[in-house]
Amino acid sequence: MPILELSPGDQTVTVSGDTPLLDVYAALPAGLYPPFPPVELPGGVGGLVSRGGFGQNFFFAAEILGLTFISPSGRRIVAGGRTVKNVQGYDLTRPFVGSFGALGTAETVTLRLRPGLSMRHVASPGTLETLPGAARFVWQDGPSIHQMHFGPAREVDRALSGVFGGTEVTGSVDLRHFFPEGVGVGTGGHLRDLRMNRLGQSWINGGEVPPVPALFARLAANL
C-alpha cells in the first residue's frame, strides 16, 4: 500500500519511497497536484526526492514537508513533519533532498499538494540543436523533439508561447526507457533540464551523481 495517507484538506500526501510517480497522480482528487509533472521515472518518489526533483519550476525542497530515511549506517531517521506546529527545528529534510543517496534512502515521503498547476507538452519534428524555447524540459525521442513545462498556468503559457505547430501531448509519459541503468547527471544526455543547461549538463542514463561536498560527507558518516 504505497499511498500511506492522503489529506486533501491539509493538501498533503504521505507515500512510501518506492511509490511510482504516476501512482501518486492516480490517487489524488482532480485539481490537486504533486510537485512533479505526470512523468514516470526510475526510483519512484524516493528516487525523485534523492535527485532534487524533476521538471518543476519552483523550490522543490520546500514542497517536501517531511520524510523518514534509512541512513548510511542503517538508522531510521525522522525528518520534518506535516504541520506548522513545531517550533524546534533539527530537521534533516532539506539536506536529504538532492543528496543523491549520500545521506541514505527515503522510506516515506510527505509531499505538499497544490491546486491549479498546469502542464503543457508538445512534440514536433526536429532536433535538439534547432530548438528555440524556454520550456523547462526538452528531449529527443526518435525524429521528434518534446518540450514540456509544468507549473503555474501563466508561467507554462509563457514558457511555450513560442511553440507553433507540433502535437499537443496530453496525459502522462513514461520516460524510464531513457534510464535503464538509473538516472544520473552528466553531459550529452537525451533529456535537457534548463536548471542544468548553464553547466552543460543533463539527466543521463546511469548512476553518475554530483560530487559530495566534504561537509556532507562528514554529516553522512555521522548519521
Positions touching a second copy (CB under 8 A) are 51-53, 56-62, 65, 77, 80, 83-100, 102, 185, 193, 195-196, 198, 210, 212-213, 215-216, 218-219, 222-223
Q: Which is nearer to a second copy, 139 or 193 (CB)?
A: 193
Closest approach, Cβ 168 to a second copy, in A, equals 25
Closest approach, Cβ 71 to a second copy, in A, equals 9
Q: Which is nearer to a second copy, 71 or 108 (CB)?
A: 71
Closest approach, Cβ 143 to a second copy, in A, equals 29
Q: Which is nearer to a second copy, 13 or 123 (CB)?
A: 13
Number of residues written out for the chain: 223
Closest approach, Cβ 55 to a second copy, in A, equals 11
Cα angle 153, 159, 164 (rounded to 5 degrees) comes to 105
| Three-state DSSP string of the chain | CCEEEEECCCCEEEEECCCCHHHHHHHCCCCEECCCCCEECCCHHHHHHHCCCCCCCCCHHHHEEEEEEECCCCCEEEEECCCCCCCCCCCCHHHHCCCCCCCCEEEEEEEECEECEEEEEEEEECCHHHCCCCCCEEEEECCEEEEEEEEEHHHHHHHCCCCCCCEECCCCEECHHHCCCCEEEECCCCEEEHHHHCCCCEEEECCCCCCCCHHHHHHHHCC
Q: Which is nearer to a second copy, 176 or 216 (CB)?
A: 216
Closest approach, Cβ 54 to a second copy, in A, equals 9
Q: Which is nearer to a second copy, 96 or 123 (CB)?
A: 96
The residues, any chain, with a CB within 8 Å of residue 56's CB and separated by 6 or more, are: 35, 36, 37, 63, 136, 150, 151
Closest approach, Cβ 145 to a second copy, in A, equals 22
Q: Which is nearer to a second copy, 61 or 169 (CB)?
A: 61
